[in-house]
Amino acid sequence: MRALAFVDGQLYVGASSGVSNRLSSGRLERREGYLSEPGSSAKGAVIRLDRDRVPETLWQSTQSLVYALLPWKGQLLVGTGNRSRIFSVPQGHTRDGEAFSVIQDLGTAQATAILPLGSEVLIVGSNPAELHLLSESQATEGTLESRVLKGAPLADWGRAYLDADTPTGTGVDLQMRVGSTESPDSSWSPWGPPLRSGERPNLKPARFAQFRLRLTSSRGGATPTVEGVRLHWANRNLAPQWENIEVMPPGLVITRTGPPEDIGVERVPFETQKLIPALGYQGSEKRSFRRGAQAFVFKVADPNGDQLNFGIRLIPERGNPIELEKVWREKFFTFDTLPVPDGRYRLEVTASDAPSQPFNGFLTSVWRTPPFTVDHTPPVLSELSATPEGENLRIRFQARDETSILKEAMVSCDGDAWLQIQPEDRVFDSHTERFEILVPRVRIRGDRVLVRVVDTHNNEQSAVVQIGDGKKR
């Protein structure tokens, strides 16, 4: 208990830090967190004990601690921290009666003492130490700033409507300003000119906005009263933002259905196996392998959180675009390249937020992939020979692919195991590679040798040659 006040046989208690549930609950006005739901503890509260010592909570806060109390002019002044606000609570306040009000914000951390000084009140502020004089004389002008309003992520700020009572000689002006930082600073626009209720402000689109009310009175005793402000704004629609489209290795299939039952029939390249966990599931995707498939993963987001769909076209190096999908809803896509001729292509994807926006308000953005190759044609083998040479067998051949780089070659001299081999220059880096190797006779069974080459699109070609013969079969 930090403060006590005794008036007309009633005791007012300023309690802070863990007010009991029994005393802190109650149906007080809900604004700025000054309400503790039943079952929770208030941070600060003002409790009145009547002549029969029956407690009643007049004011409570989940934010503020009570530091000082003073009865004054039929009101109970409450000094708080850590926002150093002065509240006014009617001494005759009941839960169905007049609400409390905020009458001053000192700008220090705490209002630690309130002292009567004739017709005025002296308020002690702490951190930093200050003295403030509160007079009962009515000011002729005052302002009230709103909390900072936030668009998502950018807003067009519209008209504000005032619900105000303005007796003769009084007035209420509303002004607005906008900015791009959550706390107003020098980068914000200046306060705009005063607006009439319902007048549209001349403000640029911005993420944050704030309004303030300027209340004036040209004669004593009369004051304007503002019951409420209704401000309209619309979040600005922003186009989808692309990061990338990932072109997956040839043969990878990404769908929402399970992998095909015949997946075991095909030889899945090692680099593709790493992208297919157990040839199965990767989050919401299902990944598998099918020769001739080409998959893509879209990395795109919408700043407004809108749902997206995609228009997809295949752009050949020469010729007209091929439309693959008009309204695609997944962020991954696979198409069968087998009907498409060998060549270089790009995938063009148009992302649209049409599913979440009005017909005349949706936006699109386009991303084109780097060129990728479609290749269904296997390499060509030539000049294949297997010639005995002492205790060894010399195998020579050439492989060529018109579209893709060669990536793998192997021989089998026993009709069973395949031996990986490298080209003469030791690097697979060309459309044409020459091979020449010596195989010990002890590794050879039978009278034939098999060779196989694979290009980067997993097209395979194999051939067989009789030992001592220069002709492939």
Q: Where in the chain are the domains? A: 3-137, 142-235, 241-374, 380-466
Of the candidate CATH numbers 2.120.10.30, 2.60.40.1180, 3.40.640.10, 3.20.20.150, the domain formed by 3-137 belongs to 2.120.10.30
Residue 457 DSSP code: T
- Look at residue 445 in the predicted model and tell me its pLDDT: 86
467-to-411, 433, 436, 440, 457 alpha-carbon distances in Å: 13, 22, 15, 13, 31
How confident is the model over 5-52, as pLDDT tens digits? 988 888 999 988 766 555 544 444 444 445 445 555 678 888 888 888
**Mean pLDDT throughout 439-445?**
86
- The residue type at 4: L
Per-residue confidence band for 281, with pLDDT thresholds at 50, 70 and 90: very low
Lowest-pLDDT choice from 62-66, 174-178, 422-426, 433-437 = 62-66
- Nearest CA to 396 out of 363, 366, 428, 421 is that of 421
How confident is the model over 370-417, as pLDDT tens digits? 999 999 999 999 999 999 998 899 999 999 999 999 999 999 987 778
CA-CA-CA-CA dihedral for 183, 187, 191, 195, to nearest 10: -90
The third-level CATH classification (topology) of the domain covering 380-466 is: Immunoglobulin-like (2.60.40)
At 45, give phi and psi (nearest 5°).
Answer: -155, 155
Q: How many Å apart are CA 389 and CA 224, to the nearest integer? A: 111
Of residues 437 and 73, which shows the higher confidence score?
437
At 354, give phi and psi (nearest 5°).
Answer: -55, -35
How confident is the model over 89-120, as pLDDT tens digits? 887 655 555 567 888 888 888 999 999 988 88
- The residue type at 308: L
For the cut 50, the answer to whether the pLDDT of residue 237 exceeds it is: yes
The residues that bridge with 420 in the sheet, in sequence order, are 410
Lowest-pLDDT choice from 118-122, 196-200, 233-237, 399-403 = 118-122
Per-residue confidence band for 141, with pLDDT thresholds at 50, 70 and 90: confident
Residue 270 parent element (H or E) = helix 270-273
* CATH architecture type of domain 241-374: Sandwich (2.60)
**Residues 467 and 444: beta-carbon distance below 8 Å:** yes
At 304, give phi and psi (nearest 5°).
Answer: -90, 0
For the cut 70, the answer to whether the pLDDT of residue 132 exceeds it is: yes
**Mean pLDDT throughout 171-186?**
94
- Look at residue 383 in the predicted model and tell me its pLDDT: 94
Residue 472 DSSP code: B
Per-residue confidence band for 348, with pLDDT thresholds at 50, 70 and 90: very high
Domains 3-137 and 241-374 share a fold: no
- Look at residue 263 in the predicted model and tell me its pLDDT: 45
What tokens appear for 153 in the block?
């992520």
**Mean pLDDT throughout 333-349?**
94
For the cut 60, the answer to whether the pLDDT of residue 134 exceeds it is: yes
- Look at residue 294 in the predicted model and tell me its pLDDT: 93
CA dihedral over 168, 169, 170, 174, signed as positive or negative: positive
Mean pLDDT of the chain: 85
- Look at residue 287 in the predicted model and tell me its pLDDT: 82
- Look at residue 50 in the predicted model and tell me its pLDDT: 84
Q: How many Å apart are CA 3 and CA 16, to the nearest integer? A: 10
Q: In what order do the strands lie in the sheet with 3-7?
A: 3-7, 10-16, 44-49, 55-61
